[in-house]
Amino acid sequence: MTDDNELLTQIEALEDKLAQARASINQRFIGQQQVVDLSLSALLCGGHGLLVGLPGLGKTRLVETLSTVMGLHSNRVQFTPDLMPADILGSEVLETSTDGSRSFKFIQGPVFCQLLMADEINRASPRTQSALLQAMQERQVTVAGQDRVLDAPFHVLATQNPIEQEGTYPLPEAQLDRFLVQIDVPYPTLNTERDILLATTGATEAEAHQVFTAEELVKAQELLRRMPVGEKVMNTILELVRAFRPEDESASTAVKDAVAWGPGPRAAQALMLAVRARAMLQGRLAPDADDVAALALPVLSHRMALNFATRARGETLPDLIATVTQSVTRIEAAA
């Protein structure tokens, strides 16, 4: 019982600190609270986030603010078609010492940081995109046959423009699956946009302040994994993920007719972590089924695809996810 009380005390203390972090972020990234919470959730879970939105919606500003508030050393890479893997990972150069001897020296690339902003990641070639796969999954890179461990914590927040696809290379499914959540960044509301104009076009702008250190974020990630998840929530996660696999016996006829391929076990793992983060950010001590429903779209949308016939009929993945999620959570609630 003492251990349980200590865990609850630590969770409550972390929730207070997260509230301070959210307030600090909102000083520079105004409104769009769901976008902020999903980005913070990705960091709390030790994962990566894919920010999808049109230019000018503040994606870069959000990542810069997150690095300040969370106390993370960050780098930014602008992905272009001519970007090479060595431009991200680093490379060995031949160095001549004062005595005339020569040796190879490794020059670190921008991936050696704690928060990497991969701007317009789909503009780079598949060869360069794949350079991030090992880094995102294993937190290390292999250059010249030698494994080099990245800093801890290590997170990638990548951005992608959903409209302009000319000259881009869509991310392969294996790499999309490495992103804990897909964060859609919409246009701001009228009142939010008014607040943005007032806050950013004056003589001075509000500055975010640091709330976490990198070491504190690592401890928060460890604490999040200790947050209890009820059996009912776990069953809801399992039922939901399996309901989107067309070959699974629990899948509905609508899913079997519409889905080309469904989410794998990594989707269930992501949901298991993300629901805890959402509960923490909202000041609760345990997640519930509403958290699963709220996170179904950002966790599952990039881990499954509709078949051609369904897309031709004009049906969309968000609508299907919303319908199936509502059905699964309603059944679980009744049970």
pLDDT digits (tens, 9 = 90+) for 153-195: 999 999 988 876 666 778 888 888 999 999 999 999 999 999 9
- Any domain includes 156: yes
Q: Which of 61-70, 171-180, 282-291, 292-301 has the lowest mean pLDDT?
A: 171-180
| Threshold 0.75, pTM exceeds | yes
Query: Average pLDDT of the chain?
Result: 90
Say whether both 31 and 126 belong to one domain. yes
Question: How confident is the model at residue 263, as a pLDDT?
Answer: 94
* 97 in a structural domain: no
Partner residues linked to 15 by β-bridges: none
Q: Does 95 map to a domain?
A: no
Q: Are residues 285 and 194 in the same domain?
A: no
Residues 217 and 143 grouped into a single domain: yes
Q: What is the CATH number of the domain that holds 292?
A: 1.10.8.80
Q: Which two tokens stand for residue 132?
A: 């991030």
Is the pLDDT confidence value at 278 over 70?
yes
Q: What is the pLDDT of residue 91?
A: 87
Q: What is the CATH number of the domain that holds 3?
A: 3.40.50.300
Q: Which residues of 86-123 are buried (b: 16+ CB within 10 A; e: fewer)?
A: ebbbbbeeeeeeeeeeeeeeeeebbbbbbbbbbbbbbb
State the total domains in the chain.
2
- Structural domain includes residue 103: no
Share of the chain above pLDDT 70, in %: 97
Q: Does 96 map to a domain? A: no
221 and 243, same domain (yes or no): no
Please choose, from the candidates 300, 279, 297, 290, the residue with its C-alpha nearest in 3D space to the C-alpha of residue 329. Answer: 290
Q: Are residues 185 and 170 in the same domain?
A: yes
- 153 to each of 43, 88, 221, 222, 260, how far by Cα in Å? 9, 18, 9, 11, 35
Distance CA 266, CA 318 (A): 19
Last residue of a domain, one of 225, 245, 279: 225
Give the whole-angstrom CA distance, residue 291 versus residue 21. Answer: 21
Q: Are residues 36 and 10 in the same domain?
A: yes
Domain boundary among 181, 202, 225: 225
Tell which of 225, 249, 265 closes a domain.
225
201 and 153 within one domain: yes
Q: Is position 43 within any domain?
A: yes
Q: Which residues contact 250 (CB under 8 A, 6 or more apart)?
A: 239, 242, 243
For the stretch 77-107, pLDDT in tens is 999 889 999 999 988 888 877 777 788 888 8
Residue 120, in any domain of the structure: yes
Task: Classify residue 100: in a domain, yes or no.
Answer: no
Looking at the fold, whether 30 and 120 belong to one and the same domain comes out as yes
Q: Provide the pLDDT for residue 166.
A: 66
The answer on 306 and 187 residing in a single domain is: no
pLDDT at 335: 57
Same domain membership, residue 35 and residue 142: yes
Q: Are 160 and 117 in contact (CB under 8 A)?
A: no
Domain interval for residue 331: 227-335
Residue 172 is predicted with a pLDDT of: 81
User: What's the pLDDT band for 146 if we cut at 50, 70, 90?
Assistant: confident
Whether 64 and 194 share a structural domain? yes
Please give the share of the chain, as a percent, with pLDDT higher than 90. Answer: 64
* Same domain, yes or no: 312 and 175: no
